[in-house]
Amino acid sequence: MARVTSRGRTPGKSLSGRARRRSTIRRLRAEGRYGPGLREVLPALAGVVVVLCAVAAGLAVGYRVAGAAVPLGALALLVVLGPALVRRHRPLARRRLGFYTAEELAELDAQGLALAVSRMLRRDGWRVLPAPRVQDRPRVRARDGLGQRVEVAFRPVAEPLPDEDPPTSTRPGRTDPAGAPLRLVVHRGAFSRRDVQWARRQGGVRLIDGSCLARWAHGTPLHELGESP
């Protein structure tokens, strides 16, 4: 009979539970879905505590010197500036979470659009991988928890230029167990019939035009987007 601890659990089961938890944490970290650790947030928390203590000390000194006018003035200033600061930083926080408006997408350059797509992929559960610049054209690569890969190219037309290599290149003699990645071509405008025919000939290529991109940026997951017309 297995020895039972004072808490009513066997040592083997306790160790097995801890091992499963460590395995889950390692998997979430590998997928980029595990939150920051205590060591990462501790400096920021310490900074917040120091700032709050300094503000409280300043208000106390001001109250002793000038009476209640100092804390009341600080409170009035907070009431006036607080909503403005929230409105100013709300779009930035929204974009960091992967949500963009159509107007914001239209104002982005090539690198900004690549950053927006990276954030939208993270929002949908993808882990964005580092991708080198190819001929001054930004590229985005990502992988999900099941090993499926996606490669995103940004260009005004879908068909590669005569001197441009395809987005995906596989080394001879090597095969990826997860299969070929899904190739996305993102364009803020509309694709021509020639672009659509090229994508069909290639296979595994999905065109994301302006309307699909706007719905994706608004919050529709990538797998729920329909094909571009």
- Domain boundary residue, one of 96, 123, 143: 96
DSSP states along 193-211: HHHHHHHHHHSSEEEE-HH
pLDDT at 136: 67
> How is the beta sheet containing 205-208 ordered, strand by strand?
127-129, 139-143, 149-154, 182-186, 205-208
pLDDT at 116: 93
Domain range holding 54?
A: 38-96
pLDDT at 1: 46
**β strands within the chain, DSSP E:** 127-129, 139-143, 149-154, 182-186, 205-208
Question: Do 153 and 198 have their domain in common?
Answer: yes
Determine the 3-state secondary structure of 166 from DSSP: coil
pLDDT at 142: 92
Cβ atoms of 209 and 215 closer than 8 Å: no
64 DSSP β-pair partners? none
Cβ atoms of 12 and 5 closer than 8 Å: no
pLDDT at 132: 64
Question: Do 213 and 115 have their domain in common?
Answer: yes
Residue 213's alpha-carbon distances to 178, 194, 216, 228, in angstroms, are 26, 20, 5, 10
Question: Do 133 and 219 have their domain in common?
Answer: yes
pLDDT at 46: 85
CATH code of the domain covering residue 155: 3.40.1350
Residue 148: phi, psi to the nearest 5?
-70, 140
Residue 128 inside a domain? The answer is: yes
Question: Do 158 and 82 have their domain in common?
Answer: no
Residue 169 inside a domain? The answer is: no
pLDDT at 23: 73
Question: Do 51 and 139 have their domain in common?
Answer: no
Residue 112 inside a domain? The answer is: yes
Residue 22 inside a domain? The answer is: no
Residue 6 inside a domain? The answer is: no
Question: Do 109 and 215 have their domain in common?
Answer: yes
Distance separating alpha carbons of residues 164 and 148, to the nearest angstrom: 25
Mean pLDDT by 10 residues, the chain (229 residues): 48 62 68 60 80 84 80 78 66 88 90 91 90 70 88 69 45 53 88 85 87 92 76
Question: Do 69 and 113 have their domain in common?
Answer: no
Question: Do 108 and 85 have their domain in common?
Answer: no
Cα-Cα-Cα-Cα dihedral sign, residues 78, 79, 80, 82 = positive
Residue 8 inside a domain? The answer is: no
Question: Do 84 and 128 have their domain in common?
Answer: no
Determine the 3-state secondary structure of 55 from DSSP: helix
pLDDT at 15: 55
Residue 47 inside a domain? The answer is: yes
pLDDT, one tens digit per residue, over 128-139 is 988 665 556 788
Question: Do 112 and 204 have their domain in common?
Answer: yes
Residue 133 inside a domain? The answer is: yes
pLDDT at 37: 66
Question: Do 132 and 211 have their domain in common?
Answer: yes
Question: Do 124 and 204 have their domain in common?
Answer: yes
Distance separating alpha carbons of residues 228 and 189, to the nearest angstrom: 11
DSSP class of residue 170 equals: -
- CA-nearest of 183, 150, 179 to 166 is 183
Distance separating alpha carbons of residues 212 and 53, to the nearest angstrom: 49
Number of folded domains in the chain?
Answer: 2
pTM, entire model = 0.57
pLDDT at 170: 45
